[in-house]
Amino acid sequence: MKARMLLDAPSHRPSGSRLARNLLPLLLLLLLLLLPLLVACVSTPVTGRRALNLLPESQDLELGIAAYEQVLQGEKLVTSGPQKELVERVMARIAKVAEPQGFEWEVRLIDDPKMVNAFCLPGGKMAVYTGILPVAQDETGLAVVMGHEIAHAVARHGTERMSQEMLLQTALGAALSQAKESTQQLALVGTELLVSLPWGRMQESEADHIGLMYMARAGYDPRAAVEFWKRMSALGGGGGMPAFLSTHPSDEKRASDLKKLMPKALAEYEKAIGSPAGAVPPLKGVAPGQK
């Protein structure tokens, strides 16, 4: 990766030792800035990961409401009918088991058959596009999508990302004001690769994990998640981008992660539907041995 990064650097490349001399203050400053911020760590639900978040939880809802209004402006909303009721039902069932503090759950169905998407903003403001409904296929499939999106909000991934950006802007701005142009470029490329992308992938995997447990706790068969992501990746042309440069986990990683989590998710599902342990009925719509 290093070789590729340098290809785009200016022709006056710093020598190895000069590069190290330029980068050292940057690294020291980053470290100095990071240390006191360890106190700003919060714990994510379900996974228990220690996450850095500089913003108070109350800010999530404020930011979410502002963004929600902006995104919904000019969108055609579905205001009645069975699809709207379906989306609201899944939201209510998952929100009930998610139970974060200070959230105001709300979901809108946006009439846009070409948009295969859904999102949940900080604070619980969510939107589902009609384009994802055929991929979800049924209520359980929709619970996979909505569980994943709700997980991003509950784990406060949005404000976590903003906290990282704030920190990077401060640290890089201060350190690079005295550095050479070439070092600046290298540092920025490095930041993108080493910080931004891996964080994004980690957040995606975490949303998979939390979403799976939430859907199971809400009484939706978690095995449907495996099938849903298969359909989703088939839409994306067979998984195209390798996980290293993508913010989404590769299809293989996603499938193996889900497989690892499945026994725990099934135990949650059994509890939710009142089925004795190990006696969970086969997944609807999938013939035995097909999974």
Residues of the shown chain interacting with Zn ion in the complex, contacts defined by CB under 5 A:
204, 207
C-beta atoms surrounding 192 within 10 Å = 12
**Angle CA(104)–CA(118)–CA(269) in degrees, nearest 5?**
75
Residues 6+ apart with CB under 8 A from 3: none
For residue 241, the minimal CB distance to Zn ion (Å) is: 15
Report d(CA 291, CA 284) in Å as an integer: 11
For residue 192, the minimal CB distance to Zn ion (Å) is: 19
Alpha carbon 30 to its chain's center = 25
**Angle CA(150)–CA(151)–CA(152) in degrees, nearest 5?**
90
For residue 166, the minimal CB distance to Zn ion (Å) is: 22
Residue ranges in the chain assigned as alpha helix (H):
2-7, 16-37, 57-72, 82-98, 133-136, 139-154, 157-176, 181-191, 197-217, 224-235, 251-273
For residue 108, the minimal CB distance to Zn ion (Å) is: 18
227 is catalytic: no
Report d(CA 266, CA 283) in Å as an integer: 11
Three-state secondary-structure class, residue 107: strand
Output the six-digit token pair for 217. Answer: 């706790």
Q: Judged by CB, which is closer to Zn ion: 60, or 172?
A: 60
For residue 215, the minimal CB distance to Zn ion (Å) is: 14
Q: Which residue is nearest to Zn ion (CB)?
A: 207
Q: Which value, to the nearest 10 degrees, does the dihedral of the CA atoms of residues 183, 188, 189, 193 take?
A: 130
Residue at token pair 């290298």: 186
Q: Point out which residues pair with 108 in neighbouring strands.
A: 127
Q: Judged by CB, which is closer to Zn ion: 68, or 229?
A: 229
Catalytic residue among 106, 149, 160, 268: 149
For residue 281, the minimal CB distance to Zn ion (Å) is: 29
Residues carrying an active site annotation: 149
